[in-house]
Structure 1
Amino acid sequence: MEGFDAAVPSGGYRWWYLDGLSDDGQHGLTIIGFVGSVFSPYYASARRKGGADPENHCALNVALYGRGGHRWSMTERGRNAIARSLDHFTIGPSAMRWEDGVLVIDIDEVTVPIPSRLKGQVRLTPSAICGHEVRLDHGGQHVWQPVAPFSRIEAVFEKPALRWSGVGYHDSNWGEVPLEDSFESWVWSRAARKDGASIIYDTILRDGSSRAFALRIGADGAVDDLPLPQHAEMSTTFWRMKRHMRAAFPFRTVALLEDSPFYSRTLLRVRTDDGAEADAFHESLSLSRFRNPVVQMMLPFRMPRRA
């Protein structure tokens, strides 16, 4: 597993993602730390001008869901506001760090579009570290690693006042070129099993070819290939985002967590290959929509920047 100081080429990106759902099913969260923020309109503008320093476009995206309301923050910061080392990534007043085998995220952010304080700490304790890597495109320019697919997560927030624990997940992605240069669409899902996680990737590349796979990863980090389930259509969102799921069994939507012109995040209830029911985070991404100039003009309202 590479550290937070891993090199990121000009125009490229690296992110560290985690999600979690409370044991009672009432609360959830996603957190993403970015070097070279892939959806940043400021980074896209810098790439067009030929001066795309990924360390000048970093952000910590935090989303809280469930009882007490939905909170979202994603403030982009320049290179003078960040610091990276093997075990530590500082982004303005917030940070991600490894501490005695535990991934700790210290959060001190301001929400958008309605400003409010988002302050707290999230701790993710892996059952094992998984070194498996998958090339997501045929040229090997985009890589995914399920770092800690089966973990315990604890969230303690001062603002809003909130405390819960549950099942967590952590992975990392990195690439040499922007996502929109390689992909037309991207669907990902992660189902939390009692003994690990089931993960599905389903992508369409710019050349029209596809890349899809399904994995089962145990609590010990062992990885097994699964048969790729059949394609099942999902309802479109308010923004008319088309969605689908790869599923061998019927599933149902629990909540639409995020809905934007080019991206949606959904909480599903699914059946895994062992017949058990599981909660699953599901993401649909349209890079063709993301490239639309109108969408690019809308992004700063959700992603403010502090230079």
Structure 2
Amino acid sequence: MQALTLIAFIGSVFSPYYAWARRRQGEGQAAAQAHCALNVSLYRRAPGARRFARLWAMTERGTEALQQDATRLQIGPSQLTWQSDGRLQIDIDECTVPWPRRLRGRVLLQPGALPGRAFALDAQAHHHWQPISPGAQVTVDFSAPDCHWTGHAYLDANHGSRPLARDFHSWQWQRSSQPDGRTLVLYDVQPLAGPRHTLSLAIDADGRVSPQPLQPPQGLPDTAWQMRRHTRGHRPPELLATLESGPFYCRSLLLDRDSGDHRGIDGGTVAVHESLSLQRFEQPWVQALLPFRMPRRAAWPGAR
């Protein structure tokens, strides 16, 4: 089993360097473009193995390493480009941490239907989430390491006008691809003030978005960092794997028992789940640890 997560950041919301710059310069003075990164997480599990092997890269770069226009985003040696045929091409050339290893390859994403809607995550609409193409197809070709596959993909975006920790205590996010072609998305947000805000949506193969009945909370085991996580459903899901575990963030794979179908990721019963604690992220001890996972290389030799 193989899986890949890519996140392109301009104004990296989980960057300790950006957080330190905002404290020194003031929130309105620290430039988002000076804190950009392409996060690459490549997971592979051998047949019969219980755990996933992981390669992780997230090198933060400065303003000179950022190039962008209407169809292209380049961050250091990696770039994302919308092709004339509508595909998104992602060329990756990064180095893993903490043990340096090259991550080099190309990802071609063919979007499906485009819902064309964004959703506010807070009452004041400072923060938005947009499911760009929940039902996409992808071809992955890596030369380092040598791995290749095709499969299902999901593409979305988040954007906001101020730091997440100013408005949110935490959130739980989950998405799964169903056998009938729908994508189910759960966004369960706990703001610093006011009631919990929850989005429970089904996105059809044609891009139509419809709200779903809100199901009861279902607890999940705490992580090794004592991160609390939960989801929603009629029955507790099975925790298949914890892919990422840190002091303020974790990413997991869950088996959705409500679907009654155990065919795996391609069958649409395995959900990707994320838990985020912004109050944990704000702790000085957490931000002191992050440079070991998120090195900063502000200058890049290929900058123009």
Scaled by the length of structure 2, what TM-score is found?
A: 0.90
Paired residue for 2:59? 75
Query: Which one of 17, 21, 31 corresponds to residue 46 of structure 1?
Result: 21
Runs of 5+ in structure 1 lacking a partner?
Answer: 1-25
Q: Any idea what SS the aligned residue of 1:151 has?
A: strand
Between the aligned partners of 2:144 and 2:185, the Cα distance in structure 1 is 32
Query: Aligned equivalents of 1:208 and 1:134: distance in 2?
Result: 18
Are 1:56 and 2:34 counterparts? yes
Question: In structure 2, which of residues 62, 68, 75 is the aligned counterpart of residue 84 of structure 1?
Answer: 68
Superimposed CA distance per residue, residues 105-136 of structure 1 (whole angstroms, 9 cap, x where no aligned partner): 11000000111000001111112112111100
1: CA distance between counterparts of 2:275 and 2:115? Answer: 24
Q: Does 1:282 align with 2:273?
A: yes
Distance across 2 between alignment mates of 1:46 and 1:58: 13
Moved over 2 A (4+): 274-277
Q: Which of these residues, 97, 109, 118, is aligned with residue 103 of structure 2?
A: 118
Residue 157 of structure 1: how far off its partner (Å):
0.2
Deviations 1:142-194 (A, max 9, x none): 00100000111111100000001111100000000011111000110001113
1:196 is displaced (CA, Å) by 2.5
Find out whether 1:96 has 2:71 as its counterpart. Answer: no
Aligned to 1:157: 142
Q: Please name the residue that 1:223 is paired with.
A: 209
Name the structure 1 match of 2:266.
Answer: none
Task: Give the structure with the higher percent strand.
Answer: 1
Q: Which amino acid aligns with 1:287?
A: L
Task: Supply the distance in 2 between the matched residues of 1:230 and 1:153 (Cα, whole angstroms).
Answer: 33
Partner of 1:36: 11
Spell out the pairing of 1:191-270 with structure 2 (5 A cutoff). 191-194=176-179, 195-270=181-256
Compare 245-254 and 144-153 and name the one that shifted more: 245-254
Which residue identity is paired with 1:282?
Answer: H
Instruction: Identify the match of residue 66 of structure 1 among 33, 44, 56.
Output: 44
Worse overlay, 142-151 or 60-69: 60-69
Q: Give TM-score, length-normalised by structure 1.
A: 0.89
AA aligned opposite 1:290:
F
Secondary structure of the structure 2 residue equivalent to 1:238: coil
Give the distance between the partners of 1:127 and 1:81, measured in 2 at CA. 31
Count of aligned pairs = 281
> What is the alpha-carbon distance in structure 2 between the residues aligned to residue 248 and residue 146 of structure 1?
25
Of 286, 295, 300, the match for 1:295: 286
* RMSD (CA atoms): 1.2
Q: 1:42 aligns to what SS in structure 2?
A: helix
SS in 1 for 2:223: coil
- The Cα shift of 1:209 comes to 2.4
Max radius of gyration: which structure? 2
